[in-house]
Structure 1
Amino acid sequence: MEKVLALLENIGSYLLLIRISDVLDIAIIAFLVYSLLRMVKSTRAENILKGVVAFLLVLGLADILQLNAISYIMKNLVQVGILAIIVLFQPEIRQILEKVGSRNIKLLKVFNDPKQQSELETAIDQTVVACKEMSQSKTGVLIVFERDIRLDDMVRSGTMLDAAVSSELLKNIFFVKAPMHDGAVIIRHGRILGAGCMLPLSKNVNLSRDLGMRHRAGIGMSENSDAVVVIVSEETGSISVAIGGMLKRHLMPETLGKLLRNELMPPEEETEDKPRRTLAEILGLNRKGDKDDVGMDV
């Protein structure tokens, strides 16, 4: 009993030494590690992170067991390995930094312009109408909705515009004999900023082989930014949406509209009795026994 009391006294004395700054320090580190793990999930960087953790575990084990030769080699590899990781995984590192920057922008940005919100809502409605009609005619479509990460480089790769979004304009742009039908339309704040724009192709080797260049470009754009990309297949007329490197296929026009509103409209637009739904709820991923919906393709 005396030993237990002594142990409790020791623990109490250590707890008294903990300052508020120590708790804050630990909380910040835990938050940063958690955020990093979330950002690298389902990317090539995830496998690298696992490899780095395994490498550090082996290095620590070598030090404990006093395996001097292995410890010496691995410590020297660390210096070269850090530089190699930066060079080989520059796109992933850039993507992580862009995500961090976009989250900071979200915290600082105030988006209350009624005109912009009205234009964005109109753009969503007109996009759904256009995609429904072009899906029926099997016309290829690639529409990018810009969010926090600006896509000026992509806009400059095509024809720069400043036009209100309408279903007729979108159908004219993507008409098979139109000069800009093979590129992407980029929309910012509810207005068409560019057409015939070139997008980066996805580097994900695990994509389904039945996906064409239009789908790979849409996924690639969503991998390199926080944009929401709408795709209509010219082969099947199927409507898809790419977000964060994930592709949701075979969407109905009504589902497309709900998804775009959830992803693009500011939270202030939602009423208290109608809370903002998650992407999984909109796409029906949480419904049991739903076999008509095709899951996310990575």
Structure 2
Amino acid sequence: MGAVIDYLKDFRWLLDTLDVFLVAFIIYRIMLLIKGTRAVQMLFGLAVILSVYVGSQLTGLYTLHWILDNFLSSIILVIVVLFQEDIRRALIHVGANPFFADLSYREETAVMSELVKACVNMANKRIGALIVIERETGLKDFLEVGVEIDAKVASDLITSIFLPYSPIHDGALVIQQGRLNRAGCFLPLSQNPDISKTFGTRHRAAIGLTELVDAVAIVVSEETGKISVVVGGRITRDLDSTALTRVLKRLLEPRGSKKKAK
């Protein structure tokens, strides 16, 4: 037994490296999950409280230090309460593809086909549309205003949502886990001064959202009939059916090639 322990000690540097890597990876994944949500502001608030706590200890502000000490003694419970939605989302997303979770390859193909069909149909008819597809970072904070849909992805339904006389045609349609979740959602507009002046509200909203989260946004221009995909604040324009399918598969099906039809 002693020989085994001595042997492992020789590789202690490797274990330390692995330890640091795992901690860094966990922190990175947590930051990715809360990016673009109110959890960021909450986390900043906790950091401020912690700074005041340390400062009160160093400067001898005993009453303030006592109050914060009692508060921070229950910090685990506070974190669970404040970040319960983010913790729930993290557990759901662990080891899963958020967009195509629990879908077979055949169902994935059907969803992709209906989505592309709807975009091409609306482009041909010059119907403006903004469709947002959730990936790893949750979009809960952007869904408060929208109307709940909870339906399968269907070309005709998507088109009807964005018809000019539809009361929710001006907002964004959000897709979560391969289903139409909510429509009529309002998204933050990008404040980037370098954005082309030719971009309308839908394009600016798509860029603004994807600057904050890792979602994929599809924009159909009612003026030009062109289809664009926006990821990470960057826009790819003038996509036809084939190009749109290729881009969406690359962004949404990282494991699709490994699945078999059920």
2:140 to 120, 133, 152: 152
Unaligned runs of 5+ in 1: 1-18, 40-97, 273-298
Q: 2:74 maps to what in 1?
A: none
- Give yes or no for contact 2:101–2:177 (8 Å, CA) kept in 1: no
1:134-145 map, 5 Å: 134-145=122-133
Determine the C-alpha separation between the residues in 2 that align with 1:182 and 1:206. 24
Match of 1:229 in 2: 217
How has the CA–CA distance of structure 1 residues 227 and 112 changed in structure 2, closer, same or farther, with 3 Å as cutoff? closer
Residue 176 of structure 1: aligned partner: 164
Q: Paired residue for 1:194?
A: 182
Per the TM alignment, residue 20 of structure 1 is displaced from its structure 2 partner at its CA by 4.6
Tell me the TM-score normalised to structure 2 length: 0.62
- Kindly provide the CA deviation profile for residues 165-211 of structure 1, in whole angstroms up to 9, marking residues without a partner as x: 11111111000111111001001121100011111111222111111
Distance 1:157 1:119, change over 3 A: farther
In the other structure, the counterpart of 1:165 is 153
Residue 196 of structure 2 is aligned to residue 219 of structure 1: no
Residues 46-57 of structure 1: pairs in structure 2 closer than 5 A? none
Unpaired segments ≥5 residues, structure 2: 1-9, 32-85
SS, match of residue 196 in structure 1: strand
Q: Which has the higher contact order (CA 8 A, sep 6+)?
A: 2
Q: Deviations over 1:118-148 (max 9, x none)?
A: 4443222111111111111111110011111
Residues paired across the two proteins, number: 190
Is 2:77 the counterpart of 1:109? no
Q: Which one has a bigger Cα radius of gyration?
A: 1
When normalised by structure 1's length, the TM-score is: 0.55
Give the 3 Å change call, closer, same or farther, for CA 152–120 of structure 1 in structure 2.
farther
* RMSD of aligned Cα (Å): 3.2
Q: Secondary structure at the match of 2:110?
A: helix
- Contact conserved, 1:161 with 1:193, CA < 8 A, in 2? yes
Deviation of 1:247 after TM superposition, in Å, equals 0.7
